[in-house]
Amino acid sequence: MRNYDDIKQTYRFKLSKIIYHIPNFVKLFWRLFQDPRVPIYQKVIPIVFGALAVIVATIYFIGLKLDLIPDIFPLIGVMDDIVISIAIIFVPGAWVFVKVCPKDVVLEHVERIDKERR
């Protein structure tokens, strides 16, 4: 049986890998969104999730006043709530979009992004 420190180290490593790959995922998402080989009906997915994210963020900002970071810093205190609420909804939408895109197109863009990193 693994101890607590091993489990904690494993999750810390996984989180660092996710954070490391965020810029590549954003590039991949944007390139797929602009690629004419991706059908238009698949490009609607992130738009719908984005609109839903804005609606939820608006309702949250107007209706609920739960602060993740207190409003000690005027701009940061407000922006963190909006950004987090949008990210919670939009990121899964972007992930679903990448998953439903044609695999050959996704692999082509992944290879190009990988070559650019080197």
Strand (E) or helix (H) holding 36: none
Q: Two tokens at 88?
A: 């919670």
Residue type, 88: I
Q: What is the mean pLDDT of residues 64-88?
A: 67
26 vs 83, higher pLDDT: 26
Q: Rounded to an integer, what is the distance from CA 65 to the centroid of its chain? A: 24
Strands (DSSP E) found in 5-118: none
Q: Two tokens at 43?
A: 């490009």
Inter-helix orientation angle 40-63/74-100, to 10°: 150
CB within 8 Å of 48: residues ≥ 6 apart: 93
Other CB atoms within 10 Å distance of the CB of residue 42: 17
Is the pLDDT confidence value at 110 over 80? Answer: yes
Is the pLDDT confidence value at 57 over 80? Answer: no
Is the pLDDT confidence value at 6 over 90? Answer: no
Residue type, 3: N
Q: What is the mean pLDDT of residues 60-80?
A: 66
Give the predicted TM-score (pTM) of the model. 0.69
Q: Two tokens at 52?
A: 């839903």
